[in-house]
Structure 1
Amino acid sequence: MTATPTTPADIPTDDTSTTDTIHEDRLWRDDGWTAKVVKNEEDDGWAVAMFKDGESEPALVGPWTMGRDKKNPKPLDVGAFHTLVKTASEVLRRHEQQLRAQLHKRISVDGPDGEIDVTLDIVPDDYDPYAMLSAIDRFGETIATVKVPPSFKLSRNSARAWVENDFQRPQ
């Protein structure tokens, strides 16, 4: 085994298994998560991999404590499992926030009738990626929306130019 598993090996993959609760020394499944303790081939230590149900890649892989015999891993327990679930959930949340920040930009500029929020929402489609450029007035109403290339750079200057050009599609 390796300390960086790519699939939850030795974990049954039939449809009913993801709802079964397992509480073993090296394998825990509960609350939509699976923790698996694996041997780290690069040294004498152990690692734990956390898988969210339905995912083939671990959300978290980290070192695991050695047992008292200094050979085998410390058994998983309810406290450790809940700490691992919390940590793995936080990692996933941060990844989602980072992706959201990459795909959604917002800049405020002055318009003829007050402040306008200009947003850029990138749609990362595998075949036809694009972005939507939108203008929203101070009341939350959408004034204009145009489709732009996903490579469009939203900046204060580009937003201001779009507003000043009566929301015509940027060139």
Structure 2
Amino acid sequence: MTDTQLPESDADSASEAVHEDRLWHDNGWTARVIKNEDDDGWAVEMIKDGEAEPALVGPWTMGRDKKNPKPLDVSAFNTLVKTASEVLRRHEQQLHAQLHKRLVVESGDVSVEVTLDIIPDEHDPYALLTAFDPFGEQLAQVKVAPSFKLTRASAASWVDNDFRRPG
């Protein structure tokens, strides 16, 4: 077993807590101290249960002998979980912002909220362009290309053209 592999029993029973010097698994997270490939130091990777890739990889402190890594402990593990969770939260916020756009345009004397929701389907990606009145009632919805650019001008044009499919 290398520093980057979980023992079979740990991979099979992810709910069991493990508290070792270089491997901690608890509360849905695994912290693993690994050899830093870029230098002679050490790194730690944080993997959320069920994920293939680490949420966080960062440098890890050398121990007192300046050769081996400092052992993991509960305080370090909790800090790593908090940091990795924040990284995932920011990533989810960024992805949401890329896939969901919203703006308000004026049509006559009425404000119309226009949203663009991109559906990143692997085989057939598309987007839904939707209009809502000031009370949140849906006025119209059309399917558009996922590359559709929602701007004030494109939204106003869609509203002014009686919600006919753009392009």
TM-score normalised per structure 1: 0.92
Q: CA RMSD in A?
A: 1.9
Superposition deviation, residue 15 in structure 1? 6.6
Counterpart residue type for residue 45 of structure 1: G
2:152 and 2:41 map into 1 onto residues whose CA distance is 51
- Structure 1 counterpart of 2:147: 151
- Structure 1 counterpart of 2:54: 58
Superposition deviation, residue 11 in structure 1? 3.9
Q: Secondary structure at the match of 1:18?
A: coil
Superposed CA offset, 1:5-64 (max 9, x none):
9xx513437774210100011000000000000011321110000000011100000000
Superposition deviation, residue 107 in structure 1? 1.1
The share of aligned pairs that are identical, in percent, is 69
The unaligned stretches of length 5 or more in structure 1 are none
- Where do residues 103-142 of structure 1 align in structure 2 (5 Å cutoff)? 103-112=99-108, 114-142=110-138
2:31 and 2:95 map into 1 onto residues whose CA distance is 25
- Whether 1:94 aligns to 2:90 is yes
- Structure 2 counterpart of 1:31: 27
- The question of whether the paired residues in 1 share the 8 Å contact of 2:10 and 2:16 is answered with no
The unaligned stretches of length 5 or more in structure 2 are none
- Structure 2 counterpart of 1:81: 77
